[in-house]
């Protein structure tokens, strides 16, 4: 079944790059990209909101089908929510992806499992110009050391997908990102990452049936780089990567994309 899932390599730029820097990075990615890679691997970059349109325009001009994604979204379509950005606004830009529930949002901005679920529903509501959620889950170091990480991640996945139909659940991507591996250089071993990604698929099968679970991509994220991408991506239940630090350099990001070919 693994072969049936096209890998996805997604860069999470976090709060980095002004418009000028973002355009330079997108152009470097484009200049070093071979279009036929996209037959084998889906590729996306998720810049800050202010860079979404300029980055989209670079790829559009070059006729390169690298997707553009947001790092967050609010669940209401419009209204008195100062500072927030809605799904229709992202649709208008041409976003194909949206990260939801990143651990940094859960940690620093108090996002709850319920918030994540509302965002997932908001993204899945309109499938005409779809923005597919990349739902982030993952345990802290203390949960890892307690040994309860599979149950913890299972609960996060169930909460994120609460009330979602199998028919649209297949459009979602789940990213397993152990917090202790994010930005720390302490990558999960391929075995550690595979264990939890496989457990996520068991949860998805329980929720939606095996066929749907087998079609949902489960990514690994956490200090993935050009040196370790190969062995992580070789695991049967790891269908790609969500890349933070290493996505900020075109050469590293391209090397990771190539590791998924």
Q: 39, 102, 191, 226: which one is catalytic?
A: 102
Catalytic annotation present for 2 = no
Residues 60, 118: Cα–Cα separation, whole Å? 31
Supply the minimum distance, in Å, between the C-beta of residue 59 and ligand PEP.
Answer: 21
Closest approach, Cβ 69 to ligand PEP, in A, equals: 12
Q: What is the chain's length?
A: 261
Among 16-24, 71-79, 120-128, 237-245, which window interacts with ligand PEP (CB under 6 A)? Answer: 237-245
Q: Which of 3, 82, 90, 88 is nearest to 46 (CA)?
A: 90
The residue annotated as part of the active site, out of 104, 111, 177, 226, is 177
Binding to ligand PEP by CB under 6 A, coded x per residue (else -) over 168-207, reads ---------x----xx------------------------
| Residue with the shortest CB distance to ligand PEP | 244
Stretch that binds ligand PEP, among 18-26, 113-121, 159-167, 215-223 (CB under 6 A): 215-223
Instruction: State residue 4 phi and psi, 5-degree precision.
Output: -75, -20
- The binder of ligand PEP chosen from 9, 157, 197, 242 (CB under 6 A): 242
Angle, helices 113-124 vs 149-160, to 10°: value is: 40
DSSP annotation string for 183-201: TTS-PPPHHHHHHHHHHHH
Taking each continuous run of H as one helix and of E as one strand, the counts in the chain are 12, 8
**11 scored as a contact of ligand PEP (CB under 6 A):** no
Catalytic residue check, 121: no
Q: Which of 223, 228, 235, 252 binds ligand PEP (CB under 6 A)?
A: 223
Q: What's CA 41's distance to the chain center, in Å? A: 14
Which residue, 45 or 242, is less far from ligand PEP as judged by CB?
A: 242
Other residues' Cβ atoms within 10 Å of the Cβ of residue 244:
23
Nearest to 257 by CA among 48, 10, 1: 10
User: Which residue in the block uniquely carries the two structure tokens 């860079």?
Assistant: 51
- Enzyme catalytic residues: 102, 177
Residues in contact with ligand PEP by the rule CB under 6 A: 12, 177, 182-183, 221-224, 242-246
């Amino acid at each position: 079944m693994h072969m049936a899932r096209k890998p996805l390599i997604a860069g999470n730029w976090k709060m980095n790059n002004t418009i000028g820097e973002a355009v330079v990075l997108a152009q470097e990615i484009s200049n070093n990209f071979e279009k036929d890679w996209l037959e084998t691997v889906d590729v996306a970059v998720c810049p800050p909101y202010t860079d979404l349109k300029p980055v989209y325009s670079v790829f559009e001009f070059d006729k390169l089908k690298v997707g553009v994604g947001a790092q967050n979204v609010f669940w209401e379509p419009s209204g008195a929510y100062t500072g927030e950005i809605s799904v229709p606004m992202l649709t208008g830009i041409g976003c194909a992806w949206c990260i939801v529930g990143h651990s940094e949002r859960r940690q620093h901005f108090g996002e709850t499992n319920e918030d994540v679920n509302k965002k997932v529903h908001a993204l899945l509501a309109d499938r005409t110009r779809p923005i597919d959620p990349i739902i982030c889950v993952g345990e802290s170091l203390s949960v890892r050391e307690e040994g309860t990480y599979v149950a913890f991640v299972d609960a996060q996945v169930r909460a994120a997908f609460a009330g979602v139909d199998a028919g649209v659940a297949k459009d979602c991507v789940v990213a397993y990102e152990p917090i202790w591996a994010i930005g720390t250089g302490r990558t999960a071993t391929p075995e550690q990452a595979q264990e939890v990604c496989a457990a996520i698929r068991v949860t998805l099968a329980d929720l939606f049936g095996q066929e749907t679970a087998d079609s949902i991509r489960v990514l690994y994220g956490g200090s993935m780089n050009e040196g370790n991408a190969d062995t992580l991506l070789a695991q049967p239940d790891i269908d790609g990567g969500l890349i933070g630090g290493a996505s900020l350099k075109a050469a590293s990001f391209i090397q990771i994309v190539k590791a998924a070919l």
